[in-house]
């Protein structure tokens, strides 16, 4: 039972980990069809590359900010803060879009299972939206 909860949580919050094992284990919990599994695997694979790129942007912006603070230059620091903020927003917006894209591959019953689990597993401001 605990493993099923972990798998649903991973699916619900879209950590974008591409793993055949995770999808295969989630299949019986959500009653995924073989076609859904294949589509989810393909979607997660493409999303993983995008998320990795955006994470790299966030990391680079964090390093730039650290360097700017070390130099003590307020203009460089302000610019680096804005850059980091933009990189973090791009990552978060992409994650939210990816969640919605994944949910489009599920039927209503599966979506409800994910929402129910998400409501229990993550804070209220981070749950999967009820309307798709």
Digitized pLDDT (tens) for each residue of the chain, 132 residues in all: 344 444 444 454 444 333 344 555 565 678 888 888 888 888 888 888 888 899 999 999 999 999 999 999 999 999 999 999 999 999 989 988 988 888 898 899 888 887 777 777 655 555 455 544
**From CA 80, how far away is CA 4, in angstroms rounded?**
41
Q: CATH class for domain 2-124?
A: mainly alpha
- DSSP codes of every residue in 64-111: HHHHHHHHT-HHHHHHHHHHHHHHHHHHHHHHHHHHHHHHTTS-HHHH
- pLDDT at position 95: 87
HSE (side-chain half, CA atoms, 13 Å) at 11 = 32
Residue 49: per-residue pLDDT: 84
- Eight-state DSSP code of residue 122: S
**pLDDT given at position 102:** 86
pTM for the full model?
0.65
């Amino acid at each position: 039972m605990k493993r099923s909860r972990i798998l649903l949580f991973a699916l619900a919050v879209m950590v974008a980990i591409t793993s055949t094992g995770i999808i295969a284990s989630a299949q019986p919990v959500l009653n995924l069809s073989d076609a859904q599994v294949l589509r989810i695997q393909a979607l997660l694979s493409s999303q993983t590359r995008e998320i990795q790129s955006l994470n790299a942007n966030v990391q680079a912006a964090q390093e730039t900010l650290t360097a700017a603070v070390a130099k003590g230059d307020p203009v460089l620091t302000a610019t680096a803060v804005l850059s980091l903020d933009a990189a973090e927003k791009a990552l978060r917006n992409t994650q939210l879009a990816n969640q919605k894209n994944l949910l489009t591959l599920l039927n209503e019953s599966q979506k409800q299972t994910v929402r129910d689990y998400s409501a229990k597993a993550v804070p209220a401001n981070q749950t999967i939206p009820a309307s798709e």
